[in-house]
Structure 1
Amino acid sequence: MGKILVTGATGNVGRHLTTRLAEAGLEVRAFARRPERVEAAVEVVQGDLTVPGTLEPALKDVESVFLLWPGFSTGNAAEVISAIAGQARRVVYLSAHVGDGGEAPTHYQEIEGLIRRSGLGWTFLRPGGFAANTLGWAEQIRQGVVRWPYGQASRALIHEQDIAAVAVHVLTSAGHNGAAYELTGPEELTQAEQVRVIGEESGREVRWEEQPSEEALERLSAAWGDPAWVRSALTTWEGFVTRPERATDTVERLLGRPALSFRQWARDHAADFA
């Protein structure tokens, strides 16, 4: 098996993926903006996908690429994918879960389209909500009250280690070319239930307090600096109240074991809420 390049090697998924591939004795090269943060004992190239010139040395002798695109703008994605196609044979792209309308968010669609037309062999991993996103509640959980909108919004959040495990499987076994895998956790929980589970696993008394969407728009816009993105997020959360994100069995089918539960994720991250 040829060398594997992991982009986003210090992220929630990339750091686990890099470590798992290295532990399996495979040739791995990590591509990261902050190479000192790469945890695995692998070759590291410093670079940034938004600066395509930094990608060229990282692609030398690479057969497969795990692609994590930074941000929500496609920017220079066409140039990056062309560079990958000029050196590698296949790409595993971390895309996004397809919603009720049958389409992923626009920038994911655009990058998937570029990859389909590139001549590369490809596999798309389309996870739903990341369990790790609930780390955004950490300070509120320490204070004992999570004030947030749409407590009844229900999702099947996925453990980042399951995404990494699926990526390892796809990168190291045959039969995945042209596949798009919808990945979720094993159960659907409302946001209020997620808070309860985190409280139980971190040993804290935590309650949910429903926040009006208008207040959330104002506060999150001030915190995140992009009102349009906040409106989009609020609309998405509202939709999950009446149309929950349904759990799939894809992780179990691919790995031969059940997907990790949200409770397991909360247990693994209990120290982050301490």
Structure 2
Amino acid sequence: MTFSFKDIEHSKSVVKETSLYTHYHNETALFMYIENYVIFHRVPTFAEFIEAEAYLKSAHQKDNQDFIKFIWPEDCEIPQPIISYLGSNDFSLDVLELYAALPGTFEPTRIDETPSDVKVEWVNADNRSAYLALSARADKEVSEEFAKQKQPYTQAKFDNPAFRPIVALRSDEAVGSIDLYLKEESIEIDNFHVAVDSRGKGIGTALQQFVMDHADGKTVLLVADAADTAREMYNRQNYTYISFRYELLKVFK
């Protein structure tokens, strides 16, 4: 089976859909970039991009959103006139890469260094509070306000039947977690996080090994930032590169 970025999209409210783009919007998470954006179905002309920018800016201003975000078509380059425009108009440009691994081909790293007092479990009623506490600490690395805003959003993810997070525990404290989305043919790894004081100790690999051990033959998918050194680790672990896409963000000051 061939996978693409469409296999990691989660359901959101569609505000507008045209032959050029779809506008996604989440009224319960207006502050989240990943929940509010326009995704292009094909590469727009310069004039079409300017028109889409004006539309999205106007739509977001109505909800007091201080940003606009665009997702480019998969495996498509951005034309130079638009690149020049982005550079002179305070857009940031990220390149994301999609990777896949079959459980039988995964090569763990540093698994022998995992502390013996750390165990990995599915998030359940007994450890959910520890998982949420770790999520809140991770969000506070962005800001206290962001962490406060995100609490209801994190809780709401449990309403999605495909959402199955896992957590690494030392005693009763969470030291790492992964949000998993289980689908018919694949499992998506999202929000892969290890506590700052527990990094470099094999906990991340132990979390991934748990995913592989419970994948039931499904392909494991994850997205890496092309500028992130973690992608080198994924290559060593036998993840296979599938595709890339650009994400454009402008935050208004």
Instruction: Return the TM-score normalized by structure 2.
Output: 0.28
Higher RCO by CA contacts (8 Å cutoff, separation 6 or greater): 2
Q: Which has the higher helix share?
A: 1
